[in-house]
Amino acid sequence: MKLFIGFDEREALEYTVAHGSACRHALSPIQIEAVWMRELQKAGLYTRPVLQDPDTGALTDVISRAPMATSFAIARFFVPILARAERGLVAFVDCDVMFRKPIERLFDAHEPGKAVSVVRHDYRPDAANKMDGRAQTVYPRKNWSSVMVFDLAHPKIRTLTPHYLNSATGLELHSFSWLDDEDIGALPEEWNHLVGHSRHPDPALVHWTEGTPRMQGYEDAEYADEFWDALRRGLA
């Protein structure tokens, strides 16, 4: 098993929660790797032009002409390349998540024969901003790409070449326009419980997509106590 977690310097503590909770609940040893845009740039894999506001640090993807809520907004789709394998299943999750059940069950939930399995949310946020003031963007299949299980052996995965990843728009990537609908498998909603939106009574993975309990205005969000406990464990 291999898990990739998006990494953003501004959410290093959230990464600690995601990493630590995945390890704590796993039934067997797992490999975890950070998906970090800066490292992909250093390796020459990520060549997309990115602008950074000198005052706020906000990032803009030039090709998409759109803000990047996190530095791994596009980098997540490099996971099949980073996996360095031609077969098997690998998973990606945003860093603002917390595992509550064994990750083995996430891999078990992947639909056989599908290129990617995701939770098919119908998520349409009302707020213009999220997290620490970052712009909230609305697009088809929003949040589908926040938890993904890739089948590296599926031929459609080969679409994700460095050339394509460095030329496609963010909308094309996040809306899975590089796949046919029948190539996208469905995961149970418990594997991407959107705080404030989902209603699963006992989620396997909690996702604070609008803001984690560490951020102003979200201190009392669902599962805040578990977040702080996971953070304390991770920093111990």
Q: What is the CATH number of the domain that holds 23?
A: 3.90.550.10
Does an H or E element contain 164, and which?
A: helix 162-165
Does an H or E element contain 116, and which?
A: strand 116-118
Task: Give the Cα separation of 49 and 163 in Å (integer).
Answer: 13
| Residue 187 domain boundaries | 2-235
Burial 26-40 (b: 16+ CB within 10 A, else e): beeebebbbbbbeeb
Q: How far apart are the first and last CA of the chain?
A: 25
Does an H or E element contain 94, and which?
A: none
Look up residue 52 and give its two tokens.
Answer: 């950074």
Tens place of pLDDT per residue across the chain (236 aa): 899 999 999 999 999 999 999 999 999 999 999 999 999 999 999 999 999 999 999 999 999 999 999 999 999 999 999 999 999 999 999 999 999 999 999 999 999 999 999 999 987 766 544 556 555 566 679 899 999 999 999 999 999 999 999 999 999 999 999 999 999 999 999 999 999 999 999 999 999 999 999 999 999 999 999 999 999 999 98
User: How many independent structural domains does the chain possess?
Assistant: 1
The pTM score is: 0.93
